[in-house]
Amino acid sequence: MVAADFAPTSVQAKSFLQTNVMRVSILGATGSVGTSALDLIGRAPANYSVEALTADANVALLARLAITHGAKLAAVATPDAYAALKAALSGTGIEAAAGPAGLELAAGRATDCTIASIVGVAGLQPALTAVALGKRLALANKECLVSAGHVFMRAVRTHGCELLTVDSEHSGVMQLIEARNRDQITKVTLTASGGPFRTWPPEAINAATVEQALKHPNWAMGRKITIDSATMMNKGLELIEAQHLFDLRPAQLDMIVHAQSIVHALVEYSDGSVLAQLAAPDMRLPIALALTWPDRRPTPVPKLDLTKTPALTFEPADDIRFPCVRLARAAMHQGGGAPAALNAANEVAVAAFLAKRCKFGHIASIVDRALQTLDNRGLLPEPAGVAEIMNLDAEARRVATEALGAIGDID
């Protein structure tokens, strides 16, 4: 079952947790989403059996989490980190693995639910391996759907995978469209906090420092998604993610800036009714829901008291000060290989900004230039499979790196 056809099957579905211990693996266990998921699992250890945990290279944290939660397998993506992981797990009985094969071993381990929370397109192959298990996939890694939406959703259908979202806005949409006729949906709106530069003038935004961009007003997240939130590319990626998750047309998708991050999503129906999903901004809510769906269980997330929250405000997204909004929307409408190229060029540009190799304002320019170059060369038709997606991803990274090298020309 995919989120797109939630209603009939999921409402009748029986919560796994009522009767069984749920076997869970977390791909990207050491990150912001991964540790939040383990925080929840650690609060109800009798309900879960932790199978595999993975990281890129953060051996110390991975080993600690694996030991604390009694994981069967821990894997690092970086081959050189294997010896340190093996040493850290020595005498625990926890299997250690490394490199692409180690990640595959972890992703292919039998589970009832795998949480896919690696950052970037690096998480695509492991997520697809978990899809092939034909069980539940709780997907945080939005870059999977941005880069490989059609291919990914086809794999979900082929393997009978139950795809649930771990993105707060999409979790909001999932809850709002449950058991309702999707033909009657006219618009799905994702809210955006607007990031740290919501009220800044354009010159100040262009010159913003890494430290300023990493200070998100509402959410504590990993570095890449935090920069994506500051450019507002994150909301553009989420529109593309929602398109695939809920099988919507680009014209049905919109974003709105809501600085308080209390309302996460709005769904408008043909009669003019608009349903909204509200909750405190805490990722443990969508993670918990993806684990227990269709049930809801108490979570440590603070309850909302609307008499005490600040006034809720809404404003249009400004795609002049935040050109990544325009670029992402254009890629979504263009379709084909454009979203994959957008994602790859953005990963290059964000990494360069975090390494202080370009200015904040260059991120959009690099992505724009890379997309134009690839489009002019006729390289953006729909990729047929994962190999074509990864080839396009590599070419987009090469072109974006060239654009980064020519940053003087961009200025």
Contact residues for ligand NAP, defined by CB under 6 A:
28-34, 55-58, 77, 117-119, 122, 140-143, 167, 219, 221-225, 283
**Residue 381 CB, nearest approach to ligand NAP (Å):** 25
Supply φ then ψ for residue 65, to 5 degrees: -65, -40
**Residue 320 CB, nearest approach to ligand NAP (Å):** 25
With respect to ligand NAP, which residue has the nearer C-beta, 37 or 206? 37
Which of 247, 203, 208, 253 shows the shortest CA–CA distance to 229?
208
Rounded CA Rg of the chain = 21
With respect to ligand NAP, which residue has the nearer C-beta, 124 or 259? 124
With respect to ligand NAP, which residue has the nearer C-beta, 35 or 334? 35
- The residues, ordered by sequence, that sit 6+ positions from 260 with a Cβ below 8 Å of its Cβ are 193, 218, 309, 310, 311, 312, 313
Contact 277, 172 (CB under 8 A): yes
Sheet with 73-76: strands ordered across: 95-98, 73-76, 48-55, 22-27, 113-116, 136-139, 162-165
Distance CA 1, CA 207 (A): 45
Q: 3-state DSSP call for residue 28? A: coil
Which alpha helices (H) appear in 160-256, and where do they start and end?
168-177, 202-206, 210-213, 223-231, 233-245
With respect to ligand NAP, which residue has the nearer C-beta, 279 or 369? 279
**Residue 45 CB, nearest approach to ligand NAP (Å):** 21
Residue nearest to ligand NAP as judged by C-beta position: 31
**Residue 269 CB, nearest approach to ligand NAP (Å):** 26
Quote the tokens at residue 147.
Answer: 């880069």
Supply φ then ψ for residue 375, to 5 degrees: -65, -45
With respect to ligand NAP, which residue has the nearer C-beta, 339 or 373? 339
**Residue 369 CB, nearest approach to ligand NAP (Å):** 23
With respect to ligand NAP, which residue has the nearer C-beta, 94 or 206? 94
With respect to ligand NAP, which residue has the nearer C-beta, 153 or 233? 233
- The residues, ordered by sequence, that sit 6+ positions from 162 with a Cβ below 8 Å of its Cβ are 1, 2, 135, 136, 137
Quote the tokens at residue 134.
Answer: 């034909």
With respect to ligand NAP, which residue has the nearer C-beta, 141 or 252? 141
**Residue 264 CB, nearest approach to ligand NAP (Å):** 11
* Residue 222: CB atoms within 10 Å: 17
With respect to ligand NAP, which residue has the nearer C-beta, 142 or 329? 142
**Cβ neighbourhood burial of 275 (10 Å; 0-12, 13-18, 19+):** middle
* Residue 144: CB atoms within 10 Å: 27
**Residue 245 CB, nearest approach to ligand NAP (Å):** 12
**Residue 278 CB, nearest approach to ligand NAP (Å):** 17
Contact 198, 318 (CB under 8 A): no
**Residue 282 CB, nearest approach to ligand NAP (Å):** 9
